[in-house]
A and B are shown apart, each in its own frame.
Chain A
Amino acid sequence: EPEVTQTPSHQVTQMGQEVILRCVPISNHLYFYWYRQILGQKVEFLVSFYNNEISEKSEIFDDQFSVERPDGSNFTLKIRSTKLEDSAMYFCASTRDRGINIQYFGAGTRLSVL
């Protein structure tokens, strides 16, 4: 069964460093998303992406964040200068049909900012 793949599973970084979280969405999906879950809290929407453009972003997704689809398979989330409060689980999701909108999630990348 096709799945969303995220790497790495755990990323440790120093405050102020740049990190790139990688995702390979399901191959025939066209809509991509990043969500964040701070430990013990709810899952929060960050950004949606379609046709090489951001469709929607939340207040959390400020200038420190960017997304990119550098090739036909990868979808990345970059945090330019990490802060302690960026420590969270980051989930990538994808869907084939925005109308039906069943978003399939990856296993997540746990980001620890020290």
Chain B
Amino acid sequence: AQKVTQAQTEISVVEKEDVTLDCVYETRDTTYYLFWYKQPPSGELVFLIRRNSFDEQNEISGRYSWNFQKSTSSFNFTITASQVVDSAVYFCALSGPSYNTDKLIFGTGTRLQVFP
């Protein structure tokens, strides 16, 4: 069965601190996809990144970076120099091979609070 674990329920940091959100996944598939979504206080789910299981290259987008390690089944998300606007709940998600399923399986989310 597929599963996503986000062990950190809540993280609080002060602006300009770096913060890493952990995500560990379980799947028996060799082809799968990993995602991060942001849910700001307004409630919508905002897509941040998608990774497929064959691409272990780390990715950087501005202050955001993602570290994908198949050996540890982890897909961690780092925010550098955090800002108050980064305050949100962040969800990691997994989907299986598209020939089989395209549903997203979400973790329980990590609430990030960035204080000024």
Contact = CB atoms under 8 A, between A and B. Distances in A.
Interface range on chain B: under 10, 10 to 19, 20 to 34, or 35 or more? 20 to 34
B50 A102 contact: yes
Contacts of A75: none
Given A102-B50, A105-B44, A107-B42, 7 more contacts: A48-B102, A56-B103, A58-B103, A95-B102, A99-B98, A105-B45, A106-B44
B53 interface: no
Interface residues of A, number: 28
Contact of B98 (A35, A44, A101): A101
A44 B93 CA distance: 11
B33 A108 contact: no
Contact of B104 (A45, A55, A89, A108): A45
Interface of B: 33, 35, 37, 42-47, 50, 91, 93, 95, 98, 101-109
Given A42-B107, A58-B103, A98-B98, A103 B43 contact: no
Given A58-B103, A101-B50, A103-B104, A42 B98 contact: no
Given A107-B43, A107-B44, A108-B44, A101 B102 contact: yes
B103 A45 contact: yes
28 contacts: A35-B104, A41-B108, A42-B106, A42-B107, A42-B108, A43-B45, A43-B91, A43-B106, A45-B104, A48-B103, A55-B102, A91-B45, A93-B45, A98-B98, A99-B98, A100-B50, A101-B33, A101-B95, A101-B98, A101-B102, A102-B50, A103-B47, A105-B44, A105-B45, A105-B46, A106-B44, A108-B44, A110-B43
